[in-house]
Amino acid sequence: MSYFIKSLVITLSLLLSTTVFAGNTSYYGSKFHGKRTASGSIFNMNSLTAAHKTLPFGTKVQVTNKKTKQSVIVKITDRGPFIRGRILDLSKAAASQINCELCTTTMKILSYGDGKYRLQ
């Protein structure tokens, strides 16, 4: 099954099911700062963005650290994380707002993006 079809199937199943998910979250920062993301935008570790394996680019999610109950709203601009067991990679700024280097979070989808590649 192609990556596009697999992503479409997962996205549609997410739309039809609950929009709150829990899992391990990490962050990425200076190593990728200034480089192009999978969505076409330039990664800025100081902006409130995140990477997710299948959610459409532009999707806005509220991420809450389960331990501290702190929340942040981020926009999906990249693909990842590529470490087993993790559901989300936050930008350094987003991770610092909820005190998360590696933590367990809930992720609530607020709005779905159009998934389009954009050079920004």
- DSSP letter at 12? H
Per the listing, tokens 């709005």 go with 111
Assigned domain for 117 exists: no
Which CATH number do you get for residue 92? 2.40.40.10
Q: What percent of the chain has pLDDT over 70?
A: 83
pLDDT of residue 1: 55
Assigned domain for 80 exists: yes
Q: Distance between CA 55 and CA 95 in Å, rounded?
A: 19
The pLDDT tens digits for 7-40 are 666 665 555 445 678 899 999 988 999 999 999 9
Sort strands 102-111 and 49-51 into parallel, antiparallel or unpaired. Answer: unpaired
Assigned domain for 118 exists: no
Assigned domain for 42 exists: yes
Instruction: Domain count for the chain, please give it.
Output: 1
The pLDDT tens digits for 61-78 are 999 999 999 999 999 999
> Taking 80 as the threshold, does the pLDDT of residue 120 lie above it?
no
End-to-end CA distance of the chain: 30
Assigned domain for 87 exists: yes
**Strands in the chain per DSSP E:** 20-28, 49-51, 60-65, 71-78, 86-91, 102-111
H helices within 22-115, ranges in order?
A: 92-97
At residue 94, φ and ψ (nearest 5 deg) are -65, -45
Assigned domain for 103 exists: yes
In the numeric block, which tokens belong to residue 83?
């470490």
Give the predicted TM-score (pTM) of the model.
Answer: 0.83
Residue pair 26/50 in contact by the 8 Å Cβ criterion: no
Domain that holds residue 22: 3-111
> Taking 80 as the threshold, does the pLDDT of residue 48 lie above it?
yes
Assigned domain for 119 exists: no
Assigned domain for 92 exists: yes
Of the candidates 47, 43, 40, which has an alpha carbon nearest to the alpha carbon of residue 115? Answer: 40
